[in-house]
């Protein structure tokens, strides 16, 4: 679990994750009475893009700002895998059989190098060489609704590929669209849309790993409903 965003201060007030989530959603909701659906989607796409990039480099630089070995981690799928419909039937989401080629120079890829010296070696190795994709090492999921790829193996070389803006990887497609009709969030927890009860996991209530995942999820859900 992680939340990398540094303290956010507005007019002397330290904003918590709930505040930040609410501020973004308030902005988006204010568009409904002033702009056409097409204009709203333009704004939503813009906001999603800058939040994706905020996450990308915040995650990538963790090993620079933290100690060499740290406890923060990034779930391969930071969204509910198990949820319930309006009749309280249990539903699950699973990866698809499809794969997508991801360009490290242009696509949003979340990779968290965890060891400083392995990162340094990867930097020096890749500086003057091509990035070579290895299906046994470079493993990731592509979430089409959010247009993000989350790496769960091959963190250091993929992270350096991102930094040098070169190389491609293949990511397994993992759609979360089936969540949209049944799951909502306030940026802190995941809720059953029908009962408004918090979803639970083995160790208790299911928290949102980082409020920015919550924002991206709700914006994608809103855009999906509009389209």
List helix spans (H) across the chain: 17-29, 37-60, 62-65, 116-126, 155-164, 211-226
- Which residue ranges of the chain lie beneath pLDDT 50? 1, 5-12
Tokens of 91: 């539903």
Give the global pTM: 0.91
Angle of helix 211-226 relative to helix 17-29, nearest 10 degrees? Answer: 20
pLDDT of residue 70: 62
Tokens of 208: 């949102």
Task: Tell me if residue 203 falls in helix, strand or coil.
Answer: coil
| Alpha-carbon gap, residue 192 to 176, rounded angstroms | 15
The mean of the pLDDT values for the chain is: 92
pLDDT of residue 192: 97
* pLDDT tens-place string over residues 3-33: 554 444 444 455 689 999 999 999 999 999 9
């Amino acid at each position: 679990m992680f939340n990398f965003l540094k303290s956010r201060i507005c007019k002397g007030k330290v904003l918590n994750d709930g505040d930040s989530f609410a501020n973004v959603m308030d902005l988006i909701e204010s568009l409904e009475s002033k702009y056409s659906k097409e204009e709203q989607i333009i704004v939503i796409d813009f906001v999603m893009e800058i939040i994706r990039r905020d996450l990308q480099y915040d995650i990538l630089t963790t090993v620079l700002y933290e100690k060499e070995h740290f406890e923060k981690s990034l779930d391969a799928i930071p969204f509910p895998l198990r949820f319930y419909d309006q009749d309280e039937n249990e539903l699950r989401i699973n990866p698809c059989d499809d794969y997508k080629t991801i360009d490290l120079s242009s696509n949003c890829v979340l990779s968290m190098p965890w060891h400083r010296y392995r990162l340094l070696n990867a930097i020096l190795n890749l500086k003057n060489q091509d990035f070579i994709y290895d299906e046994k090492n470079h493993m990731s999921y592509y979430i089409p609704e959010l247009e993000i790829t989350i790496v769960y193996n091959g963190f250091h070389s993929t992270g350096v590929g991102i930094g040098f803006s070169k190389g491609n990887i293949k990511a397994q497609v993992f759609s979360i669209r089936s969540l949209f009709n049944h799951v909502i969030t306030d940026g802190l927890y995941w809720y059953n849309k029908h009962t408004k009860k918090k979803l639970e996991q083995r160790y208790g209530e299911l928290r949102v790993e980082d409020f920015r995942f919550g924002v991206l999820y709700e914006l994608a859900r809103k855009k999906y409903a509009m389209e």
